[in-house]
Each structure stands twice: as structure tokens, then as C-alpha cells.
Structure 1
Amino acid sequence: MKTTNHYSARSIWKKTLPLVLGVTLCSNISFAQTSKSEVIDAIVKEENSNSQLEKLAHELFDEIGPRLVGTPQMKQANDWAVDKYKSWDIQAHNEKWGEWRGWERGVSHIDMVSPRVRTLEATQLAWSPGMGKKTVTAEVIILPDLADSAAYAAWMPSAKGKFVMISMNQPTGRPDYNWQEFALKESFDKMKAERTAMTDAWKKRIAKTGYTTKTLPVALENAGAAGILTNTWSAGFGVDKIFSAYTKKVPTVDVALEDYGLLYRLIESGGKPMISMHTESKELGVVSTFNTIAEIKGTEKPDEYVMLSAHFDSWDGGTGATDNGTGTLTMMEAMRLLKKFYPHPKRTILVGHWGSEEEGLNGSRAFVEDHPEIVKNLQALFNQDNGTGRVVNLSGQGFADAKTYLGRWLEAVPDTIKNRIKTNFPGQPGGGGSDFASFVAAGAPGFSLGSLNWSYFNYTWHTNRDTYDKVIFDDLRNNAMLAAIMAYMASEDPEKTSTVKTEGIKWPVPVKAIRRGGLDGK
């Protein structure tokens, strides 16, 4: 419903924003803008004094938790976001784009019971089959180093009834930065050489089985193994990456480096460690998958669009806090700010919270396929998806005129935010990595708001430590203000953005969304 409001976009624009000529990074096009506009000042003041980010983070990360596609928690998060937007008087809905293998994580407990008792730090992988109410106690063995696939075929029956370790044992549990700080150079070099040799040897061991890392667990379960043990160390203290299981009948469990190494050394020294394992999970059949879409309808150009973007799903070793809960909350908070201080935008402002990004940008690719009218009339899309840090990089994604309009909009951003951002024009079009690439491939101006690292790839990206306590809320406030201001400026710009591609750049090809994940034998 259209209502009058003293923050009317046109009145604010005419009353408070003088015409600025010769703006840095801009073309000869000039339109009314200033970093001290009433709208921008109000956005900054609100976010610095009344941010909702901590409350949103607690509700999403602590109460709902991880958002693996196909799980009840993913749908719970979709519904939570819709309700939250409606509480801010923003229209929102869940839009079905596909179906997925439904699965729900249950309790798990893994103990070493011989040669001594120790509760192990371990996590069943996503989509690992459950054991029902059964607990299995069995010997642990290491995948042996044999001559060739024929030798492995002859060995396979000996895996029956045992838990099989199929990952390399790391030579150190200390990250490289710790070695660099304290080790003698010759010690560090020796360790790296040893690790490289071990990694190469283990790759050859897997290759000689005749299987891949995906097919080997299935072959072992078909041979009667009690379960599969892996370790996907994330090169930092206490962190493992938790991905998906490929077994269908027996559990696949990632064991933390410290405990994986313990079991491995016991076996190498001639021992026969025994573990007791109980893991539960539920298969939920075919479940629908959704994107959550929210909208602030445009008044003058309602059929042109500015979009905010972040994927909503996560892996489920932790709670998906920085991948991509922080991007999600940044865009939700930006929409709250825009609705409060810019309720009648010139162009329609949308936000997309995408499903199944982790399995191949599927939610955003489906949206691009299903909404050509939006893609065709997209003024700009801003996506954030690389951790909790403040935004410090912005690329033109290969669009020839991106410097003109992005520079124009950035001029309105407060210096304390803008001056930290390194731009790269025209840049290279993103072919993947996150959801902006789905739009870029279709020729639409999608941009990634690149953030500071905060040890993202080692410590939180897809790990068991991606939790609330890793969020840097001051940086998130910075990003929410930036996203809101850039959306505001893009909406108000009298010029439609150019999507001319820079000559000589190879453009990515659109990829079709997977709309039936984990189903039909896939």
C-alpha cells in the first residue's frame, strides 16, 4: 500500500542533495548527491546507535543453527526471515525453486574404548546415514598402501566389520603461521617438505585403489566396513572442514586432527584401537527448496531493480555464522535501514537470500532462469559472501562503464567506510564463487563486496568453528551501512546502468541450476 511519508525519496533528493560536479571516479554525468544527505546521515546514525545485528545473529545462529539445504533448519530459517521482514513492514515470501534430498542431523557420540577410554572429537558428515538406535564397537584400521587396484580388490574383504581411516595423517597440528613465528627456518622447511611428500604419497595410495575420494567410501561400505573415518584439516588449531558423506548404509565421520592422529599412531605402532560409535540421522524424502525474497516497491521506476544478495544456506559443521550468516544479516539490516529511511524508493529494491549456494549457486541460478524480467532491468546487485570482515574490495566485474556508476555511488559513502575500499575497474567477471556470478554470467551488473579475511579460509569457511563468537559486529555494521547506501544511490541514480562488456574479456557462460539435488541417483 502506498502511503505518504516525510522521507519521500523525491522530496529528500530535491531538498537536501545539491548538484555535485566533477566527482572523483565519475564521468561527465552528474546527479544530486552528497555524503551528508539526510537519508545517509539517518542510516549511519541508526546503525551506530540502534543496530539489530546482534539480536538477529543470536536468533539465526544460536536458535535456528546451521542451514544445510534439505534440512528442517533451512526451511525454519526461510520462515524466520519472512516473519522478520514482515515485522519491519517489508513484503517478503519464500519462492520455491527446486527439491532436495531431505535429511536431518541427530545426536552422535564416538569414543575410543581401547587401549584406553577417550571421547573423540568427531562430526558425522552431512547426509551421512544414521545407525538408528544401534551402537557399533569395532577395530579401527588404516587404508593400506598396496600395489594396485587388483591388490586392493583382494584386500577389501578384510575391511568387513571395521572402521576404516581413509585420510592422510598430518605431520603437524600447528598452522604454518605458528611455525613461522617460532620454528628454526630449517625445521619449518623440513616439516613442509615432509608434508608435501606425505600428501603426494597419499594421493597415489588413493589412486592405486582404482577409486576416487568419492567412490572409495562406497566401495568400502559395500565390502562390509562398519564405517568410514576421515580428517579434513583446515590448517588451523582445532578446525576441520565438514562436507558431505557419500556412503548410503554406514556412517562417515570426520575425526578431529588430534584424535585422528592418535588413532593413526596407535595402529602404526602395532596396536589395535577400538572405538564405539553411535550416530543418528533421519532421511526425510523429497523436500522443497526455497529462496527468500523481500521487496520495497519502487515508485517512479518500479520495473527497474536494485538487489541486495547473500546466500542463506550453509554447511552444518558449525552454525554457518560467517558463511554466510554474516552476509545474510548484512543484507537484512540494510533492508531494515532502507525501509525506515527510504520507504518509497525510485526503483524497486529487492533482496535475495539464496538456497543451495554451497552445492553450486543453485538458488540464484534458478532465480536468474525464472526471472528474466528482473535480470534484464537490473540496475545493480550487491552480494557479500566471504566472511565477517569489513568490505575492502570492489571490482567492476568486467563491465566497461562500472567505474562511472559505482564511483558515483561510492562518493556518497562516508569517508570512514569509502576510504578503506580498494576498487578494480573494469575487473574480471566472476565465473563462480558466490551468487553475484549467476547474474554476471547473464550479463547483469552483479558486484561482490569483498571483505577482510579474518582467517576466513582456515578457521570459519565450511568448518566446525563457524559460530556466533567469530562474528565481528563492528565490521558488520560497516557493511550494512555500505550496502544500504549503495542501494539507495543506485535506486536514485537518474541514469540506467550500462552493461556493456569490456572488449577482449572472456565472459562466463550461464550454468543451469540443479533443481533436484541428491535425488535421482545424483
Structure 2
Amino acid sequence: MKTTSNLLLALALTGTTMFAQNEKSTDPVVDGIIKEATENSQLKELGFHLLDVIGPRLTGTPEMKASHDWIVKTYQDWGIEAENQKWGEWRGWQRGHSHISMISPRVQSLDGTQLAWNPSTSAEGVTAEIIILPTVANETEFNNWLPSVKGKIVLVSQKQESGRPDYNWEEWATPESFEKMKEERSAASKAWRANLKNTGLTSRTIIPALEEAGAVGIVSSYWSKGFGVNKIFSARTKAIPQVDMELEDYAMLYRMAEHEVKTEINIVAESKELGRVPTFNTVGKITGTEKPNEYVILSAHLDSWDGGTGATDNGTGTLVMMEAMRILKKMYPNPKRTILVGHWGSEEQGLNGSRAFVEDHPEIVEGVQAVFNQDNGTGRAVNIQGAGFMHSYDFITDWLTAVPRNISKHIETSFPGSPSGGGSDNASFVAAGAPAFNLSALSWDYWNYTWHTNRDTYDKIVWDDVQSNAILAAIMAYKASEDETKTSRERIVLPLSKRTGKQQTWPKQRSPNREGGK
């Protein structure tokens, strides 16, 4: 390890691109990693089985358990020790058939899906007239209107006048038309929020209020600001169907209601309740030969939402870490330190799996050399920051020098950085004081098009970038394992908050929700 700890030097390098290097290294392990990754990649086959065969991995579903079991078997077939470690329980649920149709004034199939953990309809479903929320001046007006939802299916989301995202408008519209659209879109959103506030409810609490008032179904449309793409999360109803409908069909229904055209739809949303089921982390291990009680951890959450198949959140992170472990077992079978891989459960509901691991294994956390986490899409890693550890520059930059130039030239670094308070599983380790780093990826329109959406599917994966990330993860794990020196855990003093003016504090370790979905 380098001993340079000059903070000014580290800050001066913030945002710079890393390290030129010859195409072929002088390290046979690094050369072997690159050769195996490029000439014998297993990424597409792994992706096919995880994403196409098993599918989405919603916490508490049989598919989530199947993915844990498949990873354990795959690791064992590669000669890697692996097990499922139970950390809690969740509401067991399995999605069935969803079908939504307009049946009057004409017949049309509508694009939408049942939301997660939603109670099942019968095979015939629910048929009823649609109704939209009124414009009200105050809570009293809303409460006077509320009985009118009895026996109706309520549309609860804002109508979008245009399904074209901003970038498409900017490319093709006149400047005047583009500015007009933005102003109208902003004004409509502002008016919607103000009206919702007038009801005395929120976008969350209004749904149980409608159900209690006798609504027989809820239709929402959580547009993700892209063509044909919606965010898909969980239902907030207890006994009636709640579905998310794509913008195009939702806006059509909304216009029907605005024009007082009597419109009926049928919602079939079948599912199964499976009682309480165990939740797991899958943990694999290549035991260290010299320092077995010190650990390099490869980290990625396995669970997903289920509007798509969870391909880029976090199928790609899962595949990166599986492939890195496969390569390390083949090219570096006797590491100096123990190399662990964690495929965490229930990240989407609050980092529960990784928080449980940290809470249940303080001895491992104490021995952590480094954690490398990947969880923001299919893109190649383009940023690594020091997570608030004072001397992170010393070891991260040292390890990165072994990474081939065609990968490292895209990576910017910032030191000492700041600790993550949430967002992904690296935060669970940082809160416990362990040096954990996110391999932050290039966007590929992640936030609009695949993050928690109905379009997060296999076809969105950019395999060249995923392969680069597997090489990066494997080399960083190898170099961290071989480093002669234990990494420093000295933290920076955090600056004053720009929002509150008060001294910021290091994130506190939090306990997981071990009894979820009730």
C-alpha cells in the first residue's frame, strides 16, 4: 500500500481520470482475470437463467427463494463455498395473471399491471365505472364528495397531457413550443399537488381512504418520464385491486371521465398469499490462506421490484459479482484474505439484508479490508469516491493502477468523499465503520427507463459495460486481498450542513426490518 496521506494532494486529484497503463500488465493474476473474463465470459448465460428463467425477485416470493438457491448451487458447482443465511421473515406472495380491459363505451385491452403484494381478485375480476378525483377547495368539500366513490374504480394519478419526455420535445419542438410545454407541465403538477393537499390527504393516504369509502378498485399511473415507462412499486389497498396503468391508456380513461363519457373497465389481478416466509442473504466464500479473518467483500442486492425482471436493478450487479467470484476462484484460488460475496435480500425495502448481515456478523465487519458494491444499472463504472475515509486515496488509487487502461480511463475518483447514508448496501457497512465503496455506473437513462420500472428487462443490458465491471471488481478484490497493509478506518470530520447549518454526523448503524410486509 502507498503511504501517501496528504489530504491536499487527494483533494487536488478529485474528479481526475485514473492512471495510464500498458495493455498487458506484469502481474499474471491480473492478466489471467482479463483473459478469463474476455475469452470465457459466463455473463450472458448467467443473465439468461437469472432474468429469463427465474425472473423478477420480489421479497417474499418463490422467485426470490429460487434465485437464492440457484446462486448457491452455481457457486458450489464452481467449487465456491456458499449458503443461504436466514435473517428474517416477510409476507409471502406470488403474482398471477393481470388483465385490464375497457368494456364500454368500446372494448380495448389496456396496458397495466397489478402492484406488488396486492390482494387477489377472482378469475372474473372487478368491473365498474371509473371516476376521477374532484377539484376541491378544502377538506370538507372532499369529504362531501367521498361517498360518490362507492362501487367505482378511482383514477388517483395526475393526467399527463403529453407522453413525450422533455428530451424529445427539446429535440423537435420550436424553442417557444418547448418552453410553453415545460411551463404547462410544471403548472399542471403544481395544481395537482395543491388540490391533493386541499383534500387533507397525501398520495399515500388517499388510497386507503378511497377503499374505506367503498371504491372497488384503484388505478394509478406513476409515469417515469420516458416513452411507455412507469415506476412499479407496492399496492396500498387491503382488499381491492390496485393496478398501475401506462400513461397512454391512463390518460385516455382520464379524458373519458373529464368529458363525462360513462366508461367501465374490468380488472383481473390474480395473486396468491403464501403466509410468512423466511428471507435470506446468499453468502459465498473463498477462504484466505494468510489472513482468513480479514475480508474483502463483493456486494450486490439480489431482490428487485417486479414490474420488469429486475435486469439493471440489480440483476447486472448480481451478475458482475457472480462472474468476479467465478474468475477469482479460477485465477486466484488461494487469496491472502478471505473473499466474501454477499447477495442481499430486501434491499428495496430499506437495505434489510445487508443491515442484518452487518448486525449479525460484527466479527466480519471488524475484519473488513474493503467492500465493493455495485447497484445502479448496466453502465460501466465511472466514479469511485472515498466514502469519507481519510486515507481512502492511498489504497483505492494503488489498487486501481492494476486495472487495464481501457477500463480505468473512464473512472473518476474523489477523495476523501463522504459517507453514504442510504441508497444501497455499501451504506450498511459504512455506518458500521467499514470501508465500503460503490462502483457508481454510467447512467444509460437508468433513472427514467429502468430503475424500478416496467421496462427493466434483459434487453436493456449493455454487456460490454457489465463485463468491464466484472473485470474491475475482480481486480480490485484481488489487489485489496494482497495488500500488505490493513486499510485505515480514520474518518473525516464532516462539514456543516448547507441546509441546516449544523455539524453533520456520521450515519448511524440501523437495525433491519426482520418482520416485513405485515
Please give the TM-score of this superposition, normalised by the length of structure 1.
Answer: 0.92
SS in 1 for 2:223: coil
Is 2:274 the counterpart of 1:275? no
Contact 1:36 1:412 in 2 (8 A): no
Counterpart pick for 2:421 among 410, 424, 431: 431
SS in 2 for 1:110: strand
Is 2:507 the counterpart of 1:517? no
CA distance in 1, matches of 2:470, 2:194: 47
Q: 1:224 offset after TM fit, Å? A: 1.3
Q: Which amino acid aligns with 1:194?
A: E
Is 2:144 the counterpart of 1:145? no
Q: 1:268 offset after TM fit, Å? A: 1.0
CA distance in 1, matches of 2:182, 2:136: 25
1:330-389 deviation digits (Å, cap 9, x = unpaired): 000000000001011000000000011101111001111111001111000000000000
Equivalent residue for 2:405?
A: 415
CA distance in 2, matches of 1:167, 1:217: 11
CA distance in 1, matches of 2:379, 2:154: 39
Is 2:246 the counterpart of 1:247? no
Equivalent residue for 1:303?
A: 293
Is 2:444 the counterpart of 1:454? yes
SS in 1 for 2:118: coil
Q: 1:203 offset after TM fit, Å? A: 1.2
Q: How does 1:15-34 map to 2 (within 5 A)?
A: none
Q: 1:184 offset after TM fit, Å? A: 1.0
Greater displacement, 288-297 / 110-119: 110-119
Q: 1:219 offset after TM fit, Å? A: 1.2
Q: Percent identity at matched positions? A: 60
Q: Which amino acid aligns with 2:164?
A: R
Contact 1:107 1:281 in 2 (8 A): yes
Q: Which amino acid aligns with 2:67?
A: A
Structure 1: stretches of 5+ with no match in the other structure: 1-18, 27-33
Equivalent residue for 1:466?
A: 456
CA distance in 2, matches of 1:20, 1:192: 51
1:181-220 deviation digits (Å, cap 9, x = unpaired): 1111111111111111111111122222222222211111
Contact 1:171 1:191 in 2 (8 A): no
Counterpart pick for 2:387 among 397, 411, 415: 397
1:61-82 deviation digits (Å, cap 9, x = unpaired): 0000000101111001000100
Equivalent residue for 1:67?
A: 57
Contact 1:396 1:447 in 2 (8 A): yes
SS in 2 for 1:247: coil
Q: 1:159 offset after TM fit, Å? A: 0.5
Equivalent residue for 2:81?
A: 91
Equivalent residue for 2:67?
A: 77
Contact 2:287 2:334 in 1 (8 A): yes
Is 2:32 the counterpart of 1:42? yes
Q: Which amino acid aligns with 2:449?
A: Y
CA distance in 2, matches of 1:504, 1:128: 43
CA distance in 1, matches of 2:50, 2:441: 21
CA distance in 2, matches of 1:518, 1:262: 34
Q: 1:420 offset after TM fit, Å? A: 1.2
Equivalent residue for 1:106?
A: 96
Q: 1:132 offset after TM fit, Å? A: 2.5
Contact 2:2 2:394 in 1 (8 A): no
Q: 1:273 offset after TM fit, Å? A: 1.2
Q: Which amino acid aligns with 2:134?
A: P
Counterpart pick for 2:218 among 219, 228, 240: 228
Q: How does 1:287-366 map to 2 (within 5 A)?
A: 287-366=277-356
SS in 2 for 1:154: helix
Contact 1:322 1:467 in 2 (8 A): yes
Greater displacement, 472-481 / 501-510: 501-510
CA distance in 1, matches of 2:91, 2:97: 20
SS in 2 for 1:285: strand
Is 2:186 the counterpart of 1:211? no
Q: 1:21 offset after TM fit, Å? A: 11
SS in 1 for 2:282: strand
Greater displacement, 152-161 / 415-424: 152-161
Counterpart pick for 2:45 among 42, 55, 63: 55
1:128-176 deviation digits (Å, cap 9, x = unpaired): 1111323222111101112222222222221011110010001210011
Counterpart pick for 2:484 among 474, 486, 494: 494
CA distance in 2, matches of 1:341, 1:353: 22
Structure 2: stretches of 5+ with no match in the other structure: 11-23, 496-504
SS in 2 for 1:140: strand
CA distance in 1, matches of 2:360, 2:44: 34
Q: Which amino acid aligns with 1:129?
A: P
CA distance in 2, matches of 1:258, 1:356: 32
Contact 2:393 2:415 in 1 (8 A): yes
SS in 2 for 1:234: strand
- Alpha-carbon RMSD: 1.7
The 3 A distance-change label for structure 1 pair 150 and 403 is same
Q: Which amino acid aligns with 2:454?
A: N
1:400-428 deviation digits (Å, cap 9, x = unpaired): 00000011100111111111110000011
The 3 A distance-change label for structure 1 pair 36 and 118 is farther
Q: 1:108 offset after TM fit, Å? A: 1.0
Contact 1:397 1:426 in 2 (8 A): yes
Equivalent residue for 1:119?
A: 109
CA distance in 2, matches of 1:202, 1:44: 53
CA distance in 1, matches of 2:254, 2:237: 22
CA distance in 2, matches of 1:261, 1:513: 39
CA distance in 2, matches of 1:414, 1:336: 19
Would you say how many aligned residue pairs link Structure 1 and Structure 2?
Answer: 494
Q: Which runs of 4+ in 1 moved over 4 A?
A: 19-22
Q: Which amino acid aligns with 2:387?
A: Q
Contact 2:293 2:337 in 1 (8 A): yes
CA distance in 2, matches of 1:113, 1:468: 33
1:215-258 deviation digits (Å, cap 9, x = unpaired): 21111111111100100000000100000111011010101000
Q: Which amino acid aligns with 2:243?
A: V
CA distance in 1, matches of 2:58, 2:494: 39
Q: 1:20 offset after TM fit, Å? A: 10
Equivalent residue for 2:17?
A: none
SS in 2 for 1:235: strand
SS in 1 for 2:226: coil
CA distance in 2, matches of 1:53, 1:225: 47
Contact 1:35 1:411 in 2 (8 A): no
Contact 2:375 2:424 in 1 (8 A): yes
Please give the TM-score of this superposition, normalised by the length of structure 2.
Answer: 0.93
Q: Which amino acid aligns with 1:62?
A: D
Contact 1:321 1:471 in 2 (8 A): yes
CA distance in 1, matches of 2:493, 2:197: 43
